[in-house]
Amino acid sequence: MKKAFAPIVPKGARVLILGTMPGEKSLELQQYYGNRGNQFWKILYAMTNEDFSNDYNERKMLLVKYKIAVWDVLAFCERAGSLDSAIKNETPNDLDAFYKMHPEIKYVFFSSKNAAAYYDKYVGRDANHIYDVLPSPSGANATMRFAAKLEVWKQKMMPLIT
């Protein structure tokens, strides 16, 4: 059974990025988006014009600086490997309770279509939030080049975090 991480919620965060469930490397390192093949951190650093860092504490401070919350839709699941397509027997996180604790969050971005699908299945979208799906930063998403992913993330998120 795989167990997701606690959320990172900077004070004043209005933006939440939801993944599905941390992959094997992320679970091993106990770091959000810990797999080097995942472009999440590269996108955030490039999008904000900050100097890239591999240090996880500095990465978390980037989230704090730009008031970006990060969590996953699923709390637990069974999965061999890291692919979302291998997920079974999943249990969602209690996002309703999360939103009650963090009412300032208004914008919810999914870091993959699968995260959005699990959210729709277990939580459902409401009128209190604005939702959007970003191109997956996963190395498994090779259909889009880095520059194209970065451009979409920038267009959708930068007006909300600056």
The residues annotated as belonging to the active site are 38
The alpha carbon dihedral of 58, 97, 114, 89 has a sign of positive
User: Could you please report the per-residue DSSP string of 73-128?
Assistant: SEEEEE-SSS-GGG-EEEEE--HHHHHHH-TT--EEEESSHHHHHHHHHHT---TT
Tokens, residue 23: 């992959």
